[in-house]
């Protein structure tokens, strides 16, 4: 399975221009699946624009069906799940049909104020596994990767590959980019503990007062970074997912041994 990481700079609030960029990339891609960042059709730092843009982002997703053809496309959007109830979502287009993945953990600290605008997903109903080009994959959105449960659940449900659309802004630039180091550590940990391929696709460029750093990457089930995209600029690249490497990792992994009673203990804390 060949994955294309489409690290783009969405124009904040301009759904039409963002859609046209998605269209161009999908139409020129030779991959099986094209993955865009979190809220790629709208931009991330939306604030009250959220309430004006959700309809346009939903219509843009519908238009992506014709563009996708026989490819899988994962794009960031806003979904109205009930009148007036919005969710930060990833639209997953497979086989000419749209399904949605919803963000579970909504960051509301520092610049982030997602719980002001969005309802979080429900793990009991909204964890999903998709299949394309013979591969089972799951999707989790940005902040969900900073918690252990979503990745573990997707792996145990059958995912061999987890896609992570993200909108991660810069933090603490010194000799190295601290937030990039943190993301690399997280992705390696998820890959190693759950014996899955991890594909992280971050947004890039300025939005309001924030700057997003890009640095998208592919991490193998053995915890190795196989592909890195550029920082601080738009970039595209493809990677062929190797399932022999997945098989080798799982022969020497205990990820299948899940003790659910730990969660009952955690639920009481």
Domains of the chain: 2-267 (3.60.110.10)
Q: What is the pLDDT of residue 173?
A: 63
Angle between helices 15-28 and 50-68 (to 10 degrees): 20
Q: What is the pLDDT of residue 172?
A: 64
C-alpha span between 121 and 243 (Å, rounded): 30
Which residue stretches of the chain have pLDDT < 70?
172-175
pTM for this one?
0.97
Q: In Å, what is the CA distance from 176 to each residue of 152, 172, 173, 231?
A: 29, 9, 6, 12
Q: What is the pLDDT of residues 24-62, one digit of tens each?
A: 999 999 999 999 999 999 999 999 999 999 999 999 999
Average pLDDT of every residue of the chain? 96
Residue bearing tokens 């193998």: 220
Size of the chain in residues: 269
Contact residues for 150 (Cβ-Cβ < 8 A; gap 6+): 104, 105, 123, 127, 140, 144
Catalytic residues: 38, 103, 142
Q: What is the pLDDT of residue 263?
A: 86
């Amino acid at each position: 399975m060949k994955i294309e990481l489409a690290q783009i700079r969405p124009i904040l609030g301009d759904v039409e221009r963002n859609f046209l960029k998605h269209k161009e990339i999908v139409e020129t891609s030779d991959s099986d699946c094209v993955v865009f960042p979190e809220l790629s059709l709208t931009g991330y730092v939306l604030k009250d624009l959220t309430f004006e843009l959700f309809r346009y982002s939903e219509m843009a997703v519908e238009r992506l069906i014709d563009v996708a053809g026989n490819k899988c496309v994962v794009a960031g959007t806003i979904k109205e799940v009930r009148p007036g109830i919005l969710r930060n979502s990833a639209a997953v287009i497979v086989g000419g049909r749209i399904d949605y993945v919803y963000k579970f953990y909504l960051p509301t600290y520092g610049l982030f104020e997602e719980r002001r605008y969005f309802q979080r997903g429900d793990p009991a109903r909204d964890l999903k596994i998709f299949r394309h080009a013979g591969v089972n994959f799951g999707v989790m959105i940005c902040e969900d990767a900073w918690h252990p449960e979503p990745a573990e659940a997707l792996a145990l449900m059958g995912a061999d590959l987890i896609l992570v659309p993200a909108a991660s802004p810069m933090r603490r630039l010194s000799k190295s980019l601290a937030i990039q180091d943190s993301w690399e550590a997280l992705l390696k940990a998820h890959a190693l503990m759950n014996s899955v391929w991890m594909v992280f696709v971050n947004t890039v460029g300025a939005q309001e007062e924030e700057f997003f750093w890009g640095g998208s990457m592919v991490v193998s089930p053995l915890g190795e970074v196989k592909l890195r995209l550029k920082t601080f600029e738009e970039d595209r690249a493809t990677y062929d997912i190797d399932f022999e490497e997945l098989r080798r990792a799982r022969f020497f992994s205990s990820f299948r041994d899940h003790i659910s009673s730990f969660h009952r203990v955690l639920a009481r804390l």
